[in-house]
Amino acid sequence: MNFDRILAAVPFLSVFATLSFAQTPAQAPFATHQLSPNLYWIDGGGGNSGVIVGRAGVIVIDAKISEAGGKELLDDIAKITPKPVTTVIETHSDRDHIAGLAAFPKGVAIVAHENNKKEQEDAIAAGRGAVTAERLPTRLVSKQKETLNIEGVAIEVYHWGPAHTNGDLIVYLPAEKVVFAGDIRSPEQPDPIIHPEKNGTSEGWIATTKGMLGLNAERYVPGHGNVETKAAIQTALDAAVAKRAKIKELVAQGKSLDEIRVAVGDPPAGRIVTFTEVVYKELKP
């Protein structure tokens, strides 16, 4: 073995590794945005999180993608207020919105729709849970609308049916006229994202979006991306309704999924199930 040649190559390999590392995109840093004196949203590290500073404690909406992300979220909250986090509200069961609960203090109350808890229990039983059993929801929502009073804050939560998942919750703060929409809205994506494996449906997504628009809200915090206006939500709804109608028409004509993808201008099929595929499977005889 020629050790001189190997040693001569080490500096080159070191430079190459440094350049490769430098070209790897870093995870977006957390950023805190204030909506009102006691209301914030924090992006980075998974889905957007809401932070509501209540009378004696803090209510968090969604808890990031990992234990490290959950810890960073708690650290950022501590920069806002010394009050402890007492409650978490989950908009749905996706890992990037709940796995950060691993960093939260034991005994924190966790509010979620009953179907959300069932989805998490099924995932744990299958060995792919985003959280452990001790981090499952502790306060369940089963009605279409429930009004909660937590830490002196009036909060309305809504479930209009299976949409992004079967256990979505829309969180509305009437005093602030702010909605936390979870992944019902992800403006960085061209179409609604629906998880059929969690029994999400396109009709439920449309019903839920119509329900959000019926609230007296002015700002909508999506699951990912920047805060939206009611006009932006309406535009997204109109586009989804029109696309679904077009797909329905093409299904009735006997077109294949690939033909429909081309007709509606979708990119080639990828890893994520598209809105077009979801609608096609719902409507195909």
Q: How far apart are CA 157 and CA 205, in angstroms?
A: 16
Confidence of residue 29 (pLDDT cuts 50, 70, 90): confident
In the numeric block, the tokens 């999924």 are attached to 257
* pLDDT of 11 strictly over 90: no
The span from the CA of 196 to the CA of 17, in Å, is: 41
| Structural domains of the chain, with CATH | 27-230 (3.60.15.10)
Q: What is the pLDDT of residues 139-153, one digit of tens each?
A: 999 999 999 999 999
pLDDT recorded at residue 104: 98
Residue (of 190, 189, 188, 168) closest to 179 by Cα position: 168
Residues 186-228 pLDDT 10s:
999 999 999 999 999 999 999 999 999 999 999 999 999 999 9
Measure CA of the first residue to CA of the last residue in the chain; give whole Å: 67
The residue length of the chain stands at: 285
Those residues whose C-beta lies under 8 Å from the C-beta of residue 220, and which sit 6 or more positions away, are 178, 179, 181, 185, 212, 227, 228, 229, 230, 232, 233
